[in-house]
Copies of this chain bind each other. A is one copy, B any other.
Amino acid sequence: MYNTAKVVFSPRVRKSPFFQSTMKYGAKAFTVYNHMYLPVSFENTIADYNNLLQGVQLWDVGVERQVQIKGPDATSLIQFLTPRNIKKCSVGQAMYAPLLDFQGGFLNDPVMLKLAEDFYWLSIADGDSLLWVEAIAKGYNFNVEVEEPDVSPLQVQGPNSAKLMTKVFGEWVDDLGFYRFKEVTHNGIPMVIARMGYSRELCYEIFLQDYSKGNELWEMLWQAGQELNISPGGPNIIFRLEGGILSYLADFDRTNNPYEVGLDWMIDLDQEDDFIGKEALREISQRGPTKKLMGAEIKGDPIKNSNEDYLPVLIDGKRVGTMTAMVFSPRLQKNIAYVFLKIEHAKVGQEILISNLDQSLEAVVVDLPWFERAKK
């Protein structure tokens, strides 16, 4: 049983500058993210996945809004907002820099782009981080300007993505390091081109800086991609799980801290600067997390549908955790899943039962991820 329904298109929810193109090229299913429509399925999840692996794919991720922070206190404000030591970031570099609350729980997990010494974007997941950043800046007297600029990202994903990017924008793209970006104007379209994205495949992210040019940019890439097997797609659950990539609000939320989801590597408790949640994180690091996100492989036939709800995880009939996501991976020929488990059960090899609507699924706990980042 799988519920389906229509989505309502109305002005209350914003459209990305690529919306018209995604409809033209067959977007079938949407979610809403940051008050904006996000196309997530074109043919279907598996066909979209296969299409990407056979060429290059465009993903409209205009929903990924930017919180722009500019001014003399920009660096110190962001350092106050994240446990990551962002003082090590150079201009032209991007860095994963989660925002935590005072208890160490995730408020969002943006990638930060350092555009100049006093000028940053936080490229955010679903949530009005703008409100948090602005209010913290005001209340703690940071001298900055905070706003949401006219910036809409488009991802170029897949084995042929480097070929497409160099063909359209020039050979320099080939020299772009991982999590590095460059500001360019191409055919009159201002943008920031970065080497990053929501998969472990070869991928790029184009931050369009002029809403009115969205469909023009899409068509430019689409035409150039004809000989590279280009297709439309969207953030795909199979790539996400295969690569061990987490989705904020799907896999983790404010009730989780970085130690629970394998993100403690980015916390710098030794830096001199204070940051929101520092005290709470120090305590958690000392006593250890009480639960942990792990991978799981589910036995049996290929799963047809991803889970619509969180599912209970059991050992010996007792609830020990929650499954957040599951899908069949065609490359692995396995059903793979994410499970949050009480820390004492978060061990590779642990047998678990996942309680689905009509049956229990047998599974075994494994480490994340299944796929490492693709080499160029």
Binding site for B on A (CB under 8 A): 2-13, 15, 23, 27-32, 35, 40-41, 101-102, 107, 126-129, 131-132, 134-136, 138-140, 247, 249-250, 306-310, 324-325
Contacts and interface: CB of A to CB of B under 8 A. Distances in A.
Given A3-B23, A15-B309, A135 B126 contact: no
Contact of A139 (B9, B31, B139): B139
B306 A10 contact: yes
B28 A6 contact: yes
User: How many chain copies does the complex carry?
Assistant: 2
A114 to B, nearest CB: 23
A5 B7 contact: yes
Contacts of A41: 6, 8
Contacts of A11: 250, 307-310, 324-325
Name the prevailing secondary structure of the A interface residues: loop
16 contacts: A4-B6, A5-B29, A6-B7, A6-B29, A6-B41, A8-B40, A11-B308, A11-B309, A11-B325, A13-B31, A13-B249, A102-B138, A127-B131, A131-B132, A132-B132, A135-B135
Contacts of A139: 135-136, 138-140
Nearest to A325: B11
Contacts of A5: 6-7, 9, 23, 27-30
Nearest to A101: B134
Contact of A12 (B2, B140, B250): B250
A8 B35 contact: no
Given A4-B9, A12-B247, 17 more contacts: A2-B9, A3-B23, A4-B7, A5-B23, A6-B29, A7-B7, A7-B30, A8-B31, A8-B41, A9-B308, A10-B307, A10-B308, A11-B307, A12-B31, A13-B249, A128-B132, A138-B139
